[in-house]
């Protein structure tokens, strides 16, 4: 799931959740418009940009301890 990260660090984990989160939010916003007829999608779509930006920011602020390191760090031989 996490690309280039053997043991998903918090940063990679948040990054992998960004797209699903934005897609779910888009689904909710479209539902608010077409199903419940509350807010038109033409007025709520910037929320998706904000969400995407916040998620990207969170993934960069999150600690990347253990990023890219193999599962067994105690390898003595080269
Ligand atoms: Zn990572």
Phi, psi of 21 (to 5 degrees): -65, -45
pLDDT of residue 52: 95
pLDDT of residue 2: 46
DSSP 8-class letter at 40: -
**What is the Å distance from ligand 1's center to 48 Cα?**
24
Low-confidence ranges of the chain (pLDDT < 70): 1-3, 71-78
Run of H or E residues at 32: helix 10-34
Flag whether the pTM goes above 0.75. no
**What is the Å distance from ligand 1's center to 69 Cα?**
8
**What is the Å distance from ligand 1's center to 14 Cα?**
10
pLDDT of residue 77: 54
């Amino acid at each position: 799931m996490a690309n280039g990260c053997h043991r998903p660090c918090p940063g990679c984990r948040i990054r992998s959740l960004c797209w699903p989160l934005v897609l779910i939010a888009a689904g909710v916003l479209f539902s608010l418009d077409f199903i419940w007829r509350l807010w038109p999608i033409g007025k709520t779509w910037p929320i998706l940009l904000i969400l995407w930006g916040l998620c990207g920011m969170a993934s960069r602020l999150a600690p990347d301890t253990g990023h890219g390191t193999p599962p067994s760090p105690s390898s003595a031989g080269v």
